[in-house]
Structure 1
Amino acid sequence: MQFRHLFSVFFSLASAGLSGQIGGREVYQFLNITPEARVVAMGRLPIAYWEPDVNFAILNPALIHAQLHGSLSLNAVSFPADIFIGSANYAHHFDKAGTFTLGIRSFQYGKFVAANQFGVQTGEFDVSDLVITLGHGREVYENLYAGANLKIINSAYEQYSSFGLATDLGVTYHIPEKLLTWSLLIRNAGFQWDPYTTERGRLPFDLQIGVSNRFRHLPLRWHITADQLHRPDVSFINPANSRRDPITSQLIEENITLANKVFRHLSFGAELSPTKGFNVAIGYNFRMQQELRMNTRRSSAGLTFGLGFRVSKFMIQYSRGVYHVSGAANLFSVTTRFSDFKKKEKAD
């Protein structure tokens, strides 16, 4: 089997498992994978989550604001099958130019055995992806924020490599007195500049809208995000959910209701923060649950949960995302702000 065909099969299956069945239509599906623990704990897509956390600003550049100045986050994910993902995010504010963010994500899939068309092993090779994100955001009007990300993308699969460019464009309306935030986000609009072979693929474009609110007398914030709004129907008929008529033996396909199709666009999350140094979060992605569930076994696919606690000047986050009965992802994040260290030095 040629490497090109092998990669097509492998990464189509991998992206389907990580991003749902709408994955596999485009290249660079890893752009939809989030390695930040707190973001994943909130359901993977909290695009309207207004908190002084640089990880949310990397997800949606319209959440970039001056309070993020000096924030640094280091993140690591342990996926099944020895897949490792790491990221580092930083924010810096300039009085005249606004606030900028820099994010680096590295995807390492381990070593693969190389073989020729006769099945004779010829060695090993590495497979990796890399995304560098430069973001900028600022308040353009009272309570109205706008931001943009520029993503530089690189993939290296044995002798095949590819470069691409993508952008995220976001608008956020934040109402402090109501603790309410609305966001509209265009993700991964771009192109494959240098394809793996001669044919260019489409990027995993996404149109999203989200809302979040924090209760005034309860330390709880919730969010709802709708994604894939440019595709009204993201459902698919799963042959595994078909059944046979006991009388005619005819195959009866799965019936997907209108309500089911609507909920496949939605993800939910809530976070309880009784103190600034502790939080507990839970999230749910309905489409992931529908696409990765099994009829023969109860599954928690689509469910995420996590917690965070402060140790000195560092906020440590852990979350777990369930993809399938066969495995889940464990995520770890450490976040700090350099301004906190400067305050401590002045106090000393």
Structure 2
Amino acid sequence: MIRKISPVATLLVGFCSSFVVSAQITSAGQDSTLRAVIPSVPFAAFTPDARSAAMGDAGVALSPDANSVYWGSAKLAQSTKDYGVAVSYTPWLRNITDDMYFANVSGFKKIGKDQAIGISLMYFDHGKFEARNNFGTSLGDYYSNEFYGTLAYSRKLSDKFSMGINLKYLNSNLAGNIAVGGVSLKPGQTVAGDISAFYQTEEIDEGTGKGWNYSFGLMLQNIGGKINYGGTESGFIPTTFKLGGAATRFIDTHNKLTFALDLNKLMIPTPGGTKGNNQGTIAAMFSSFGDAPGGFSEELREFMISAGAEYWYNEVFAVRLGYFNEARSKGDRKYFTVGFGARVQNRYGIDFAYLMPQKQGSPLANTFRISLVIDMFKKAADLAIDSEE
């Protein structure tokens, strides 16, 4: 598929359409109180996996798996598996185009009983474009794409508490090397990092299988430099504050039910805010909690809420549902999610998620994700060595 689109519009696809917020605000009208916080390279904040996507995009405090590289690598050190791999695929904006998608692959490996390392790669394909200038002259075809790679390290600091750190490289090629207004565009690139913490406690009766698991996660995601495409302006990447909690009720030896709740806030300047965009990353992170023109009440509206529930039967089959809420003045993304998961031998699995916008006409309608998962436990001999250590 070839789409005819101007270079300027191409940039808008990358900055706004991918995050869908601008379309939501336009449909709501030109109210001056609509101040969505829209970052550059928004794909760096997309939920990669189907499990969390089916739970309203809640994932900071869920049990560890390979996708914890995204949700907080601190969880990896507390995984009961030796290593794991996950591959996910999501067609994007299906009601608008048929050649846009993103895919993610993640993996981790335990090092001893207290440490773990991880790696992931997210790739976002915008599709094939035919660029035209303002006079309608073709400037050629090109493929627009973005990606980021992550290296992760996690360590337990106690039996119940662990921390993790990620290092990332981001590359955003929205318009190739096309010249716009006398300025030659170039792919934007930057480096970033994540810091995360995870705590969990569990009490289960060995006889009945009944009990509770409580977990809490905190993450500062995408702390990094601004990104520039060749012009004089640079944009903030989606630096995000994530705080989550989860409670799992073990009903018996075969049934368990998990409830999860996440709070998320972009730590970049609010449009029209008191601090402006001419700040460094760290200064913007701190000022983002108090720069909204509408004061404290507007700051509260910048928090996004993800809530979800998950039921597992015998670690073989799961059903999930969730809800995501964003204030009307900050983008108005509101949607329900559903999904399922299945495991074979507690090692090989598949997860599926489907998104249902609360409002008709949303560009997010018919979005689905699918993930393939492989988890491996340590051999008995290796477990014996760890226990001796």
Q: Please say whether Structure 1 and Structure 2 have the same fold, judged by a TM-score greater than 0.5.
A: yes
Superimposed CA distance per residue, residues 164-197 of structure 1 (whole angstroms, 9 cap, x where no aligned partner): 1111111111112241011111111111366443
Q: Secondary structure at the match of 2:366?
A: strand
Q: TM-score when scaled to structure 1?
A: 0.79
Pick aligned residue for 2:9 from 6, 21, 29: 6
Contact 2:221 2:239 (8 Å CA) reproduced: yes
Q: TM-score when scaled to structure 2?
A: 0.71
Pick aligned residue for 2:247 from 213, 230, 239: 213
Contact 1:58 1:135 (8 Å CA) reproduced: no
Pick aligned residue for 2:356 from 322, 326, 343: 322
- Residue of structure 2 in register with 1:337 after alignment: 375
Aligned CA distance change for structure 1 residues 280 and 94 (closer, same or farther; 3 Å): same
**Matches of 1:130 and 1:23 in 2, distance apart?**
24
**Partner amino acid, structure 2, of 1:335:** V
Give how far 1:35 is off.
2.3
Pick aligned residue for 2:119 from 74, 98, 102: 102
- Residue of structure 2 in register with 1:35 after alignment: 48
- Establish whether residue 268 from structure 1 lines up as the match of residue 307 from structure 2: yes
Contact 1:225 1:268 (8 Å CA) reproduced: yes
- Establish whether residue 169 from structure 1 lines up as the match of residue 195 from structure 2: yes
Pick aligned residue for 2:222 from 177, 188, 191: 188
**Matches of 1:332 and 1:226 in 2, distance apart?**
24
- Residue of structure 2 in register with 1:133 after alignment: 150
Give how far 1:97 is off.
7.9
| 183-192 or 318-327: bigger deviation | 318-327
**Partner amino acid, structure 2, of 1:318:** F
**Matches of 2:301 and 2:9 in 1, distance apart?**
35
Note the aligned Cα RMSD (angstroms).
3.4
Aligned CA distance change for structure 1 residues 219 and 259 (closer, same or farther; 3 Å): farther
Q: Secondary structure at the match of 2:152?
A: strand
**Matches of 1:283 and 1:260 in 2, distance apart?**
24
**Matches of 2:373 and 2:146 in 1, distance apart?**
24
**Partner amino acid, structure 2, of 1:274:** Y
Superimposed CA distance per residue, residues 240-266 of structure 1 (whole angstroms, 9 cap, x where no aligned partner): xxxxxxxxxxxxxxxxxx699559532
**Matches of 2:299 and 2:356 in 1, distance apart?**
20
- Residue of structure 2 in register with 1:56 after alignment: 68
**Matches of 2:115 and 2:9 in 1, distance apart?**
46
Contact 2:302 2:327 (8 Å CA) reproduced: no
**Matches of 1:134 and 1:61 in 2, distance apart?**
10
Contact 2:36 2:270 (8 Å CA) reproduced: no
- Establish whether residue 78 from structure 1 lines up as the match of residue 91 from structure 2: yes
- Establish whether residue 223 from structure 1 lines up as the match of residue 240 from structure 2: no
| 113-122 or 40-49: bigger deviation | 113-122
Give how far 1:231 is off.
8.1
**Partner amino acid, structure 1, of 2:118:** T
- Residue of structure 2 in register with 1:202 after alignment: 236
Q: Secondary structure at the match of 2:57?
A: coil
Q: Secondary structure at the match of 1:222?
A: strand
Unaligned segments of structure 1, at least 5 residues:
235-257, 294-299, 344-348
**Matches of 2:236 and 2:246 in 1, distance apart?**
31
Contact 1:195 1:201 (8 Å CA) reproduced: no
Give how far 1:85 is off.
1.0
Contact 1:307 1:317 (8 Å CA) reproduced: yes
**Partner amino acid, structure 2, of 1:154:** N
Aligned CA distance change for structure 1 residues 232 and 130 (closer, same or farther; 3 Å): closer
**Matches of 1:127 and 1:162 in 2, distance apart?**
12
Aligned CA distance change for structure 1 residues 116 and 290 (closer, same or farther; 3 Å): closer
| 11-20 or 186-195: bigger deviation | 11-20
Q: Secondary structure at the match of 1:11?
A: helix
Contact 1:264 1:286 (8 Å CA) reproduced: no
Aligned CA distance change for structure 1 residues 262 and 162 (closer, same or farther; 3 Å): closer
**Matches of 2:6 and 2:83 in 1, distance apart?**
44
**Partner amino acid, structure 1, of 2:222:** N
Q: Secondary structure at the match of 2:16?
A: helix
Aligned CA distance change for structure 1 residues 58 and 307 (closer, same or farther; 3 Å): same
Superimposed CA distance per residue, residues 199-227 of structure 1 (whole angstroms, 9 cap, x where no aligned partner): 32212111121110001326110011111
- Establish whether residue 92 from structure 1 lines up as the match of residue 109 from structure 2: yes
- Establish whether residue 152 from structure 1 lines up as the match of residue 152 from structure 2: no
**Matches of 1:32 and 1:117 in 2, distance apart?**
32
Aligned CA distance change for structure 1 residues 329 and 93 (closer, same or farther; 3 Å): same
**Partner amino acid, structure 1, of 2:73:** P
- Residue of structure 2 in register with 1:111 after alignment: 128
**Matches of 1:315 and 1:78 in 2, distance apart?**
20
Q: Secondary structure at the match of 1:54?
A: coil
Give how far 1:153 is off.
0.5
Superimposed CA distance per residue, residues 143-170 of structure 1 (whole angstroms, 9 cap, x where no aligned partner): 1110111111111122220111111111
How many residue pairs get aligned? The number is: 315
Unaligned segments of structure 2, at least 5 residues:
26-34, 178-185, 204-211, 272-296, 381-389
- Residue of structure 1 in register with 2:207 after alignment: none
